[in-house]
Amino acid sequence: MTQVGVSKVASGYSLEGQQPYQQSLTARKPKLLEQLRQALRSRHYSRRTEQTYCQWVKRFIYFHRVRHPAEMGEPEINAFLTHLAVKERVSASTQNQALSALLFLYRHVLKRKIGDLGEVIRARKPKHLPVVMTREEVKVVLSHLKGDRWLMASLMYGAGLRLMECLRLRVQGVDFAANQLIVRDGKGFKDRVTMLPEMVKDPLLQHLKSVKGIHERDLAEGYGCVFMPYALAKKYPNAAANWRWQFVFPQEHRWVNRKTGQQGRHHVHESVLQRAVKEAVRRAGMVKHATPHTFRHSFATHLLEDGYDIRTVQELLGHKDVKTTMVYTHVLNRGGKGVRSPLDGLESSSGKVSYTDLHKIPG
């Protein structure tokens, strides 16, 4: 089928055999994926969720030889999900993500209820423990980071921030007087307050002075605007150029809108810190698969080690359910921290038994 044919089917209509007037009326109807995007945006889903759901809907359509979803139902969804688990061997979370995308499509775009999916072969959900660094490992990895990379990683470990929460932090979200950070629109569209580590206050102040200088130069050149969430740009037309709305970690180069010529600075791309941490872990000689998110895991684990209440840690992390936070208690019990190995209890009259003692040949 040609690309034009695919576009027609995925759009939900065909223009063949229609009168010019009918064609003009039909052409005004948004395409299927555009309807999906509008439904997601009206419910304030993130752009990443929007991109992911659109990709899953496309894969669903192409899997069934470019049939329109309106012509399909439970059997086709069942076949697609089973294919993901059996043939593509995806993880349980990936299969659930695909199901969520299709359910959203049918419920909110096609206005159809999906019934029993039958015997769907579900991917087995493994129980993974998070990778956690020791305090010494955190110190070594941070020592191999410099400048704003060190500052971002330090905030993630010191305040338990997610990667995108750290990068999307705005100037008004840093409260030096109260020693706290205000996370806006975190995961699940929840705001929360977490601590501002004393160790990063002075470096962060110096960093913000440098960022403010860049912002003032941008304003002098006729730019200096930043992306505003939701419809705040219309509600507060001048806020985009205000210092309090600027990102704490702006990108090095200004973005350019080719249509309007407008320029501004978004926050740094997540790959900047990801690459820096990967290199720092390599230089530290660590064999653990540590990523920026490992700092957040380590933050939670070390707080629990220090005796802080799990509800307090849950609030700082922004977890909806304490069961999510409970995974870090399992990490605490690993490696002999909770239970002493019986091998270590083997002692001789003179003290601990060594490998040599165990392998002595009876005389």
Of residues 144, 266, 278, 293, which has the active-site annotation?
A: 293
Give the 3-state secondary structure of residue 98.
Answer: helix
Sign of CA dihedral 35, 41, 44, 48: positive
Angle between helices 310-317 and 322-332 (to 10 degrees): 120
Sign of CA dihedral 217, 220, 223, 229: positive
Rounded distance between C-alpha atoms, residue 98 and residue 54, angstroms: 10
Of residues 31, 108, 187, 192, which has the active-site annotation?
A: 187
Phi, psi values for residue 341, rounded to 5°: -65, 140
Is 328 assigned a catalytic role? yes
Amino acid identity, residue 163? Answer: L
The two three-digit tokens of residue 188, written as one number: 């699940």
Burial class (CB in 10 A: 0-12, 13-18, 19+), 252: exposed
Q: How many CB atoms lie within 10 A of CB 206?
A: 11
Of residues 170, 265, 296, 302, which has the active-site annotation?
A: 296
Give the 3-state secondary structure of residue 193.
Answer: strand
Is 162 assigned a catalytic role? yes
Rounded distance between C-alpha atoms, residue 260 and residue 201, angstroms: 38
Of residues 149, 162, 215, 267, which has the active-site annotation?
A: 162
Is 48 assigned a catalytic role? no
Q: How many CB atoms lie within 10 A of CB 147?
A: 11
Element housing 155 (H / E) = helix 147-159
Is 296 assigned a catalytic role? yes
Whether the Cβ atoms of residue 13 and residue 199 lie closer than 8 Å to each other:
no
Instruction: Name the residue with tokens 């027609």.
Output: 8
Task: Please name which of 37, 36, 40, 77 lies closest in space to residue 60, comparing C-alpha atoms.
Answer: 77
Beta strands in the chain, from DSSP E residues, in sequence order: 174-175, 180-183, 192-195, 255-256, 263-264, 347-348, 351-352
Rounded distance between C-alpha atoms, residue 135 and residue 153, angstroms: 14
Task: Please name which of 307, 303, 327, 326 lies closest in space to residue 316, comparing C-alpha atoms.
Answer: 303
Is 212 assigned a catalytic role? no
Element housing 91 (H / E) = none
Is 223 assigned a catalytic role? no
What residues are annotated to the active site?
A: 162, 187, 293, 296, 319, 328
